[in-house]
Amino acid sequence: MALLRIGSRGSALALWQAHHISALLREQGHQVELEIIKTTGDKITDVALAKVGTKGMFTKEIEEALEAGRVDLAVHSLKDLPTPLAGPFEIAAITERVDPRDAFLSIRYNSVRELPQGARVGTSSLRRQAQLKQFRPDLEIFPLRGNVDTRVRKLEEGEYDAVILAAAGLKRLGKTQHIKEIIEPEIMCSAAGQGALGIEIRQGDTAMRQHLAFLNHEPSRLATIAERALLNQLGGGCQVPIGAFAVADGSEVTLMAICARPDGTELLRESGSGPDPAQLGERIGKIILSRGGDKILEDVYNENAAGTPAGA
């Protein structure tokens, strides 16, 4: 069988994901090598994601290695992959996603509702910040960057009363001890693609596509197509307050989406269903834009470009 070279970030979560895919490929009889690649997002750890201002901050260098032929495939958290892809690449497979929701972690408190007035919550996601401020305007939201271990340690050291992280990453790493609540999407709509892995290859590499086809999980693929189509329609990435949560049930896909101001003062929520996930995502995205999402996103981009704290 083939020798397959995987490109991956070097964080504990990225390596877990890469080793997980490596093991599945080895079960198919392939030889696998892993190349660890440091991305822009890994190098800039002291600035909120919304301020970095570059799409593909966790993928660009990996894609360069893929294009140059140093690696044959890349394993990404699907939510890190820009829409559309930045170069001559394609997504060969989307794995079965694990819980796409966000988790509430705290030492002392059992839920977002239970937090005292003025509690300190850590997150660097404008999407999470906006929804928290809409649900609990009294909370104080503070930047939280770093890998999962770093973020959990800051909670344990008392820097925050609570932090919000993706449930999927915590479960994959076995860091679930401080999870007090899995937040339902009606309160905290997830990031597009959260919980799924995207396997990226060079466009037109049919042999590689065939090697990886067994990894594809059809319900996860359909759901994330809808979410990514919504994100693409809104022109957003992880720097903007957009959420998308879809579920595929047979041939029907249901999508819930939000677009919000970072300070939570305005939050647009829209949902719908249909048999074509790409058309569904585009349709919901257009409705959100027509309801004022275009103005929200324009203001967010202008604030970030000017260096103004989002939601200030």
State the catalytic residues: 80
Residues 129, 229, 298, CA angle at the centre, nearest 5°? Answer: 50
Strand order from edge to edge, sheet including 179-183: 140-142, 120-122, 162-166, 102-105, 179-183
Buried/exposed code over 83-110 (b: 16+ C-beta within 10 A; e: otherwise) = bebeeebebbbbbebbebbbbbbbeebe
At 108, list the tokens: 């002392």
Contact 142, 121 (CB under 8 A): yes
How far is residue 240's CA from residue 303's CA, in Å, rounded to a whole number?
A: 11
Identify the three-state secondary structure at position 227: helix
- For the chain, state the CA radius of gyration: 19
Cα 284 from chain centroid (whole Å) = 19
How far is residue 155's CA from residue 19's CA, in Å, rounded to a whole number?
A: 28
Contact 170, 83 (CB under 8 A): no
How far is residue 155's CA from residue 241's CA, in Å, rounded to a whole number?
A: 24
At 185, list the tokens: 């999407």
